[in-house]
C-alpha cells in the first residue's frame, strides 16, 4: 500500500512549510495591528482599523498582477523577493512603536510613515500567493492535486491559528510592537530557507504567458460583466463581517468585556475552520452553489446576534464558532459559482478575480470598524455594533437571493465543472 505522502516533490513540502510560517507571521501582525496603530502609534480607534483595512485590501488585490512577476522571474526568485520585502516591512511597522523608532516616524509624520510601510509590506505579501499555489500546481500530478491543495489549506489555517497565539505570547512578555517585530524575524528565516532549500519546480506547459497589457485587458473584460461584479460586491458582505475579527473585535473584547487576551478569540476561528470544513462540505455537497452561499452567509450574519444577548468572552467564542460554520458552508462553493458565472473561454481569468470579495470586504470593513469602535464599542451602547454587523450581512444575503432570482446564469452547452483548490478564506 502506497503512502499518501508519495508523489509530492521536495519543493512541494518546502513551499507548504514556507506558507505555514508566512501565515504565522502575517496573523501575528494582523491580530494586533488595529490596536497597535490606534493606541501605541496614537492614530486613534477610527484611523487605525481603516489603515489595516487598506493593508489587507491591497494584499488581496495586488496578486492579480503579481502572477506576471512569477512568470517573468520564476517561483524561487519571487518567493525570495517576497520575504526580502516582508522582513523590513514588518520591522519598520514595529519600529514606529519602539523608543528608537519614534523619532523616525515623527520626522516623516506618523500617518505617512505607517501608510508607506503598510503598502511596502502588502506588496511583498501579494507576491507569495501565485508562488505557493503555482508550485503546488507544478509539483503534483492530476490525481494528487486535490490532496495537495487540501494539505496547503490545512497548513494555511494552522499558521493562521498559531499567528494570534504567537502575538499573545510575545505581547505579554515584551510588548505589542515586538509581536510585529517577531513577524520580521519569521520572514527573515523564511528568506534563508527559500535560498537554501527551495528549488524551482518544472513548470507545466502553458498556452500563453500574459503580459501586463493582457492582464489589464482581461480586467476590463471582467469589469464589463455587470452580473459578475454585482456578485462580487454581494459576496464581499461576508468578508466585511469576517474582517471584524481583526479590526473591531479586539477593541470590543478589551473595552466592553474587559478581556485582554483577544488573540485567543481570534485563534478560535482558525481551529473551528480546520475542524469543520471537511464535514460541513460533505453535508452540503448536494446543495446548489448559490444555496450554500446564501445559507452560509445567513448563518454567519446571525451568529453575531449571540453577543449582545449575553455579552461575555465565552459567548463571543461561541458566536465565532457559529460564524465558522457559515464560512465552511459558503466559502468552498463560492469558487464553483464563479466558474458558473464565467464565460467558458474565460474561466481561468474569472477565477483569478474570485478573491476580490475578500479585498472589497477589507477595504469596506476597515472604515466601518473605525466607525463602530468610535461610536459603539467605546460609547454608551456598545452591543448595538453587533446588530449593525448582523444587519449588513442580512442585507447582502437578501441581495444575493434577489440577484440569483433575477440574474441567474444560464447553463452553457458543453461547459464543464472546473476543479478549484480549497478556498483560502481565512488565512490566504
7-197 and 208-408 have identical folds: yes
pLDDT tens for residues 94-127?
A: 999 998 888 888 888 999 999 999 999 999 988 8
pLDDT attached to residue 417: 46
**pLDDT truncated to tens, each residue of the chain (428 aa)?**
455 566 677 888 999 999 999 999 999 999 999 999 999 999 999 999 999 999 999 999 888 777 778 777 888 999 999 999 999 999 999 999 998 888 888 888 999 999 999 999 999 988 887 788 788 877 877 677 767 777 888 888 999 999 999 999 999 999 999 999 999 999 999 999 999 999 888 765 554 556 667 667 767 777 778 888 888 899 999 999 999 999 999 999 999 999 999 999 999 999 999 999 889 888 888 888 888 999 999 999 999 999 999 999 999 999 999 999 999 999 878 877 877 777 766 666 676 677 789 999 999 999 999 999 999 999 999 999 999 999 999 999 999 888 888 766 555 444 444 444 444 555 55
pLDDT attached to residue 65: 77
pLDDT attached to residue 378: 92
pLDDT attached to residue 130: 79
Task: Give pTM, 2 decimals.
Answer: 0.89
Give a three-class secondary structure readout of the chain: CCCCCCCCCHHHHHHHHHHHHHHHHHHHHHHHHHHHHHHHCCCHHHHHHHHHHHHHHHHHHCHHHHHHHHHHHCHHHHHHHHHHHHHHHHHHHHHCCCCCCHHHHHHHCHHHHHHHHHHHHHHHHHHHHHHHHHHHHHHCCCCCHHHHHHHHHHHHHHHHHHHHHHHHHHHHHCCHHHHHHHHHHHHHHHHHHHHHHCCCCCCCCCCCCCCHHHHHHHHHHHHCCHHHHHHHHHHHHHHHHHCHHHHCHHHHHHHCCCCCCHHHHHHHHHHHHHHHHHHHHHHCCCCCHHHHHHHHHHHHHHHCCHHHHCCCHHHHHHHHHHHHHHHHHHHHHHHHHHHHHCCHHHHHHHHHCCCHHHHHHHHHHHHHHHHHHHHHHCCCCCCHHHHHHHHHHHHHHHHHHHHHHHCCCCCCCCCCCCCCCCCCCCCC
pLDDT attached to residue 67: 72
Alpha-carbon distance of 400 to 294, in angstroms, equals 7
Domain boundaries, the chain: 7-197, 208-408
- Top CATH class of 208-408 equals mainly alpha
CATH architecture entry for 7-197: Up-down Bundle (1.20)
pLDDT attached to residue 207: 46
pLDDT attached to residue 422: 42
Amino acid at each position: 500500500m502506497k503512502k499518501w505522502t508519495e508523489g509530492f516533490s521536495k519543493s512541494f513540502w518546502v513551499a507548504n512549510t514556507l506558507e505555514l510560517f508566512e501565515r504565522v507571521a502575517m496573523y501575528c501582525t494582523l491580530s494586533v495591528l488595529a490596536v497597535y496603530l490606534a493606541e501605541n502609534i496614537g492614530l486613534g480607534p477610527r484611523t487605525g482599523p481603516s489603515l489595516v483595512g487598506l493593508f489587507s485590501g491591497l494584499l488581496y488585490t495586488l496578486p492579480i498582477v503579481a502572477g506576471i512577476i512569477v512568470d517573468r522571474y520564476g517561483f524561487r526568485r519571487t518567493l525570495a523577493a517576497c520575504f526580502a520585502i516582508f522582513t523590513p516591512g514588518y520591522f519598520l511597522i514595529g519600529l514606529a512603536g519602539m523608543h528608537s523608532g519614534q523619532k523616525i516616524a515623527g520626522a516623516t509624520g506618523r500617518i505617512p510613515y505607517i501608510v508607506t510601510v503598510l503598502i511596502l509590506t502588502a506588496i511583498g505579501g501579494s507576491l507569495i500567493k501565485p508562488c505557493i499555489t503555482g508550485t503546488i500546481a507544478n509539483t503534483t500530478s492530476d490525481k494528487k492535486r486535490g490532496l495537495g491543495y487540501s494539505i496547503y489549506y490545512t497548513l494555511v489555517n494552522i499558521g493562521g491559528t498559531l499567528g494570534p497565539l504567537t502575538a499573545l505570547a510575545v505581547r505579554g512578555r515584551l510588548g505589542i510592537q515586538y509581536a510585529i517585530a517577531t513577524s520580521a524575524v519569521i520572514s527573515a528565516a523564511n528568506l534563508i530557507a527559500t535560498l537554501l532549500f527551495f528549488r524551482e519546480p518544472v513548470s507545466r506547459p502553458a498556452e500563453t504567458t500574459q503580459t501586463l497589457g493582457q492582464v489589464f485587458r482581461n480586467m476590463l473584460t471582467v469589469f464589463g460583466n455587470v452580473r459578475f461584479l454585482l456578485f462580487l460586491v454581494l459576496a464581499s458582505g461576508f468578508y466585511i463581517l469576517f474582517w471584524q475579527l481583526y479590526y473591531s473585535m479586539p477593541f470590543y473584547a478589551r473595552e466592553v468585556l474587559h478581556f485582554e487576551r483577544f488573540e485567543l478569540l481570534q485563534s478560535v476561528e482558525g481551529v473551528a475552520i480546520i475542524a469543520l470544513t471537511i464535514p460541513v462540505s460533505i453535508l452540503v455537497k448536494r446543495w446548489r452553489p448559490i444555496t450554500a452561499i446564501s445559507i452560509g452567509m445567513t448563518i454567519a450574519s446571525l451568529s453575531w446576534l449571540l453577543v449582545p444577548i449575553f455579552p461575555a468572552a465565552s459567548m463571543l467564542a461561541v458566536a465565532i464558532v457559529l460564524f465558522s460554520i457559515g464560512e465552511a458552508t459558503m466559502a468552498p462553493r463560492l469558487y464553483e459559482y464563479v466558474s458558473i458565472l464565467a464565460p467558458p473561454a474565460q474561466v481561468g481569468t474569472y477565477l483569478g478575480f474570485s478573491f476580490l470579495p475578500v479585498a472589497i470586504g477589507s477595504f469596506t470593513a476597515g472604515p466601518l470598524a473605525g466607525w463602530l469602535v468610535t461610536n459603539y464599542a467605546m460609547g454608551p451602547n456598545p452591543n448595538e455594533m453587533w446588530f449593525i454587523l448582523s444587519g449588513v450581512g442580512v442585507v447582502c444575503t437578501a441581495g444575493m437571493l434577489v440577484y440569483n432570482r433575477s440574474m441567474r446564469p444560464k447553463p452553457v452547452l458543453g461547459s464543464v465543472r472546473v476543479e478549484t483548490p480549497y478556498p483560502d478564506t481565512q488565512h490566504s
